[in-house]
A and B are shown apart, each in its own frame.
Chain A
Amino acid sequence: MTAAPRPRLRFADAARPALADTALRRDLRDGAAAVRARRAAAVAETPDWAELRAAGRALKDRTLLNLDACLERLERAVTAAGGTVHWAVGAAEAARTVARLAGGAAVAMPAAPVLEEIGAADALAAAGSTVHRTGADAEFPAVRTAVTGVDVMVAETGAMVLLEWAGDARRCLAVPDALITVAGIEQVVPDRADLEVLLRSLPRSAGERLTPAVSVWTGVAPGDGPAAFHLVLVDNGRTRALADEIGRAALRCVGCAACLDVCPVYERTGPGPYGAPPGGPIGAVRVPLQRGVGSAATASLPFASTLCGACADVCPVEIDIPEVLVHLRGEVVDARRGRPVPTPELAVMRAAAWTMGDPQRYEAALRGGVRWARLLSRGGRIRRLPGRFGAWTDARDLPAPPARSFRVWWRDRAGAR
């Protein structure tokens, strides 16, 4: 399977330019703080927030454990309403399908994470379509075809639900003759009643009582809007995530972006280093879950976190992102254990296990280590560790250890009694 935009660099390397860009960091910080405040207000006036989260979690779990039946039901409903459903295993196949359906016509395409994920713009351009990326400031182009994402699909009725801030998608649903909508297979929910949960929890989690424009459409509506509707359902590794019993929870995501705005790592790096939208905590689990941890880039993502837990606290569908991160770290380590030449971390960890396995060896090592460390320190901080350990101090200082270790202090104290 090929995904168009792939992260090629390890997270730490990819993050370097963003970290050096102080203007970007200030924008990210101010933006995140503003959204956090709005979100806190929207949630504070929702007395049943805990019940909404529990319902959101359960309805998405219900979807995922019955995903095949849910999608078949969705397909029947969309077809009955005059739409056509297409399926794609990989990102490239999905992008080719979109390009084929557009047939070289100019298209309006408001931004959506799934469209970026499959590389829709490049595939459309390669097939001869001019792509107008609509935005709040751009004039709406005079085109007859539109390509959009979607937020929630209802299997029971075949309804598509799209929440937006800027109002461009609204035009795409009203003006062109043909509409091509791309969705991840996990974006379905079983019943109409599930909307009364997500239409409250998702916008509030994003900082609004309700998103400025919510469009709901079912197949085609005679005399109103596009006369042709195509829905492209994309797997692109979602079934790989589904097979992981712990990682599966990440497919509950409804894309509110709340976890991004509370993440101390994302606040400093922005979306770039994650290699695929949306980035942030959910991106750090979704990318390795969907693509595997075989490359250095995807394997580095589960480590791009301090495990502070802020993301799990805000998530409207109760995804325990730190739990999935830790699980994926284990998977990365396991994948490397089998290698003939151990990675430096593994060699260090093995040496540490040998040293710490014996109290005498451990204390001797501590005494030696303290002496070396104090030689390296300036003003109580170690700015750079020597040799291969230097990478660890690239982004942080290390406090110099105290002259006496805790163990020595404890023994002296016990002896003084």
Chain B
Amino acid sequence: MTSRDRVLRRIRDALGPARGTPVPVPRDYRRHLGAEYARADVIALFTERIAAHGTPVRHVGAGGLPTALAAALWAREAARIAVPAGLPAGWLAELEGVAVVPDGPGVDPAAPDGPDAVVTGCAAAVAETGTIVLDGGRGQGRRALTLCPRLHVCVVHADQIAGTVAEAAARLPPGRPQTWLTGPAVARGPARERSPHGAAALEVLVVEDWL
């Protein structure tokens, strides 16, 4: 008998007549923010929550994004950046004196001689928790790309911001590798102090079309 058969047999023996008992799951928890949250409030909540982690966050109009990106990279003295395939070319239109490396298997953003920064979009964001979600879709790249320890500038379109974790989860196509990032990593000391580590140096640009 294989171990698989033995484990399954043990489970069936352990449950006896209780096996297969249906258990209804009460799903009367909140899936959405309260009705008092207008769209602008959801965006404001996202900004507030992500800033609460100490992550810099700025709002720009679609036309202002290239300048804002160039400014963010310039402020951190980023001379060489890596970007995923499919990043809208216009985003990088204002860069000056910055070498842009396309992501690929040979690029190791975590290496000491890796790029100074990476720029990506995202798959969704969550207002309630101040979270950005990457799933390797267009303009996001491989998971390894966002492990750049120096700087990750993430562009979030306002309409990508979901109110709650449940709303964001429902928007994401299943099957893709997802990374949900909520504030910097936490050292596991007794006091669990937040300390920047790994790809913790995140900056968020929220693009609002009406700005």
Residues of A near any B CB (own CB < 8 A) = 27-28, 30-31, 34-35, 38, 47-48, 51-52, 54-55, 58-59, 61-62, 65-69, 71-72, 81, 86-89, 93, 135-136, 140, 157, 159, 165-168, 170-171, 173-175, 185, 192-197, 199-200, 207-218, 221, 223-225, 233, 235, 239-240, 242-243, 245
Contact = CB atoms under 8 A, between A and B. Distances in A.
Interface in B156-195: 165-166, 169-170, 174-192, 195
Interface residues on B, range: 35 or more
Nearest to B10: A239
A216 B23 contact: no
Contact of B197 (A31, A166, A242): A166
A175 B110 contact: yes
Interface in B64-123: 105, 110
Contacts of B49: 209
Nearest to A97: B3
Nearest to A193: B27
Most buried by A among B19, B110, B143, B170: B143
A235 B9 CA distance: 11
B3 A87 contact: yes
Given A51-B29, A54-B26, A210-B126, A185 B7 contact: yes
A364 to B, nearest CB: 51
B29 A55 contact: yes
Contacts of B22: 62
Given A174-B144, A223-B142, A89 B7 contact: yes
Nearest to B172: A216
Contacts of B18: 65, 245
Contacts of B24: 58
Given A167-B198, A174-B144, A221-B176, 15 more contacts: A31-B189, A51-B28, A55-B27, A55-B28, A58-B24, A89-B10, A167-B200, A170-B143, A170-B147, A209-B49, A210-B182, A213-B179, A215-B179, A217-B177, A218-B175
Contacts, number: 209
Contacts of A171: 110, 147, 198
A380 B84 CA distance: 75
A138 B173 CA distance: 34
Contacts of A242: 11, 14-15
Given A210-B131, A224-B136, A233 B7 contact: yes
Contact of B136 (A200, A221, A243): A221
Contact of A170 (B128, B187, B198): B198
A87 B192 contact: no
B185 A165 contact: yes
Contacts of A221: 136, 176-177
B109 to A, nearest CB: 10
B177 A173 contact: yes
A166 B126 contact: no
Interface in B29-83: 29-31, 49
B174 A170 contact: no
A175 B144 contact: yes
A65 B12 CA distance: 9
A225 B188 contact: no
A171 B27 CA distance: 34
Contact of B185 (A88, A167, A239): A167
